[in-house]
Structure 1
């Protein structure tokens, strides 16, 4: 049974970090380059980012519990534990903090698209914040992949 929990640990790290990179740096840019309707591309990309956020939150919960049980009290001294925790905080901040601001700006701009409205500059600023948070989380994810074996020791 312990072996199965270790496999799930590795699969979840791979799934979470793989999804971060695949959606953020492959799928979303492809949508914007292929679709003429940028609003549609944004809606589709936004939905994919939602899936990645929920995957990340679920994966982080498992990983943190796994590490806490595996290492007992020493989990709080583990760099891998704090790396996963920081990635979780960034995911939560992005999904529950930044994304609602972006959604409200879109709603406030109706009936126009936000990029054609007076709220464009504010939307772009918050989108930039979101992109930076996502980039930091993605880079931390690479670090997590590199260190994942250390979390089991």
Structure 2
């Protein structure tokens, strides 16, 4: 059972961090390049992918924290992997439950115009920038976590 739990740790970590990089740095830019003639559609599709990745992050991050707590107990709080996972999980929650709904509301308030053609353009751009920075931080933290795990940090 211990091996299965450790294997699931590695799968969850791979799925979460790999998904962050695949969606954020491959799929989303490809959508915007391919659908250059329809940026609102590209944005809607990318937004949905980021939302799904947020739910994946919540599930995987929760498992990773639980695994660490059950495996190492109170020592988990002294391990920097635990704090990386917790920070990534918090950033995921802020994005999923704070920033993404805010961006959706700004888009809705801009109707019937597209948000980038409305007076809300600057507000949307600012929050989109904040979201992008948080995503980049999550992605880099994920790489640090993977590197640490490859060196035996989760075992």
Asked if Structure 1 and Structure 2 have the same fold, meaning a TM-score greater than 0.5 normalized by the shorter chain, the answer is yes
C-alpha displacement of 1:94: 0.7
- Over aligned residues, Cα RMSD in angstroms? 0.6
C-alpha displacement of 1:70: 0.3
Q: How many pairs does the alignment contain?
A: 152
TM-score by length of 2: 0.97
Q: Structure 2, unaligned stretches of length 5 or more? A: none
Separation of aligned partners in 2, 1:9 and 1:99: 27
Q: Show the 5 A alignment for 1:1-153.
A: 1-35=1-35, 36-148=37-149, 149-152=152-155
Deviations 1:67-115 (CA, angstroms, capped at 9, x unpaired): 0010011011111011000000000011111111101100000001101
C-alpha displacement of 1:145: 0.4
Deviations 1:22-47 (CA, angstroms, capped at 9, x unpaired): 00000000000110200000000011
Runs of 4+ in 1 over 2 A off after TM superposition: none
TM-score by length of 1: 0.98
